[in-house]
């Protein structure tokens, strides 16, 4: 995907929307000194070009009983494309997996996983790692306290 040319107004709009997607175009228009219709057109273009990929509600894991977060590094037995694709598909389908990264280095994947408790996480490890002959090994770190969790990207132009 080719990155569309973004001006300072686009960047301001993106900055506002990624902090709160419910911000109305009228409010953004006042901030940037444009008409509401012009802001709406820009937002539509940003969606159509894929700059805005999705608009979602960010939920509190603890409020939904997912009190524990784990960082899991996974090394696969083989690096065949069908093995990697199968694991990617499995991670994409698992609701406990919040993020999955295919990475370079000692491990093949890094996962961010939530669970209700240790018993729930043990079930996840059984079905995901122990029952999968293509997983060589995995290591787990338990998140004691999240310091920064977010998906906001820097959108302001740099001098």
Query: What tens digit of pLDDT does each residue of 41-70 get?
Result: 999 999 999 999 999 888 999 999 999 999
What is the pLDDT confidence band of residue 152, given thresholds at 50, 70 and 90? Answer: confident
Mean pLDDT of 134-142: 97
Note the pLDDT of residue 11.
94
Structure tokens at 2: 């080719």
Q: Is 31 exposed, middle or buried (0-12, 13-18, 19+ CB in 10 A)?
A: middle
Query: What tens digit of pLDDT does each residue of 10-24 get?
Result: 999 999 999 999 999
CB atoms within 10 A of CB 127: 12
């Amino acid at each position: 995907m080719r990155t569309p040319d973004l001006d300072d107004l686009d960047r301001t709009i993106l900055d506002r929307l990624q902090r709160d997607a419910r911000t109305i175009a009228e409010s953004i228009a006042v901030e940037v000194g444009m008409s509401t219709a012009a802001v709406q057109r820009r937002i539509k273009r940003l969606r159509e070009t894929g700059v805005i990929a999705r608009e979602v509600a960010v939920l509190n894991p603890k409020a939904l009983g997912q009190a524990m977060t784990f960082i899991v590094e996974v090394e696969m037995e083989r690096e065949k494309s069908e093995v990697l694709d199968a694991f990617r598909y499995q991670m994409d389908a698992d609701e406990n997996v919040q993020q999955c990264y295919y990475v370079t280095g000692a491990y093949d994947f890094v996962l961010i996983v939530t669970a209700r408790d240790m018993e729930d996480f043990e079930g996840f490890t059984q079905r995901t790692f122990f029952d999968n002959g293509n997983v060589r090994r995995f290591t787990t770190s338990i998140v004691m306290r999240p310091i920064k969790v977010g998906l906001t990207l820097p959108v302001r132009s740099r001098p």
